[in-house]
Amino acid sequence: MTDAARDPARLEKGRVFFAQQWSFWLSVADMNGLPDFAGVEVAFAGRSNVGKSSLINALTGTKALARTSNTPGRTQQLNYFVPGEEASREAPLAIVDMPGYGYAKAPLPIVEEWNELIVAYLRGRVNLRRVYVLIDSRHGLKANDEDVLELLDKAAVSYQAVLTKADKIKPPALATAISNVEAALKRHPAAFPEVLATSSEKGTGLAELRAAIAELA
Ligand code: GDP
């Protein structure tokens, strides 16, 4: 991690931003349902079971803001969360929880696995500022993750890879996982070169991720 990423003032801004109460705002099931929102949107994507709900809950300090493990076949929706006791379109930023992918036994191209809304959202949402693509520390990048990265490159949406469940592997294996993903990202023009490692269980990396998100608000 760079020194700038660990700058105490920057980390403090992230802490304060996320110390607010967070609320569920709305679910979007089709393009017409996308809210009229002037704030910045930050989306979280990842294979099912990657730890996405746990990470959103850990970041926002809530127990059940994001529900864990959306079951396959459930309506694919975008779920919006905003800071504030009462959800409002005046919020400076929204976290957008995207449907998990990778349920199919044989990996499907991502445009087949995600519905039109999700793909259109990634391609065309003007206030979408960054996508955090979550990768399980133990598994690394899979074929469908690569599909997502390619979709984001084509859409020219800035994204950063975030390793999850860092507590599940030993530090040397984690260092290898980080460098493997960083090496793979060199082939992706829209990717942030730096990979964040997090553990929702132990709190690792949460301060840095909060700071990165708060900076976009
Ligand atoms: P989602 O399907 O991506 O929303 O994943 P969940 O948040 O439901 O997590 C899937 C499973 O991984 C659950 O059993 C979580 O308890 C577990 N999990 C998530 N994050 C962590 C973590 O940081 N460390 C550990 N050890 N387990 C985690």
Ligand 1 center to residue 49 CA distance, Å? 6
Q: What is the pLDDT along the chain (217 residues), one digit of tens a residue?
A: 666 778 999 999 999 999 999 999 999 999 899 999 999 999 999 999 999 999 999 999 987 787 755 555 556 899 999 999 899 999 999 999 999 998 877 778 888 888 889 999 999 999 999 999 999 999 999 999 999 999 999 999 999 999 999 999 999 999 999 999 999 999 999 999 999 999 999 999 999 999 999 999 9
- Quote the longest CA-to-CA distance of the chain: 47
CB 141 within 8 A of CB 112: no
Mutate to test the pocket of ligand 1, among 54, 62, 103 (most ligand atoms within 8 A of CB): 54
Q: In sequence order, which ranges of 97-156 are alpha helices (DSSP H)?
A: 110-113, 116-124, 143-155
164 touches ligand 1 (CB under 6 Å): yes
In sequence order, which residues have a C-beta less than 8 Å from that of residue 54 and are 6 or more positions away?
Answer: 68, 164, 200, 201
| Residue 1: per-residue pLDDT | 61
What number of residues does the chain have? 217
- Euclidean distance between CA atoms 137 and 150, whole angstroms: 20
| Residue 6: per-residue pLDDT | 80
CA atoms within 13 A on the CB side of 197: 23
46 touches ligand 1 (CB under 6 Å): yes
How far is the first Cα of the chain from the last one, in angstroms, to the nearest whole number?
Answer: 21
| Residue 66: per-residue pLDDT | 78
| Residue 70: per-residue pLDDT | 53
| Residue 105: per-residue pLDDT | 75
100 touches ligand 1 (CB under 6 Å): yes
199 touches ligand 1 (CB under 6 Å): yes
Instruction: List b or e across 4-38, with b for residues whose CB sees 16 or more CB atoms inside 10 angstroms.
Output: eeeeeebbebbeebbeeebbbbbebeeeeebbebe
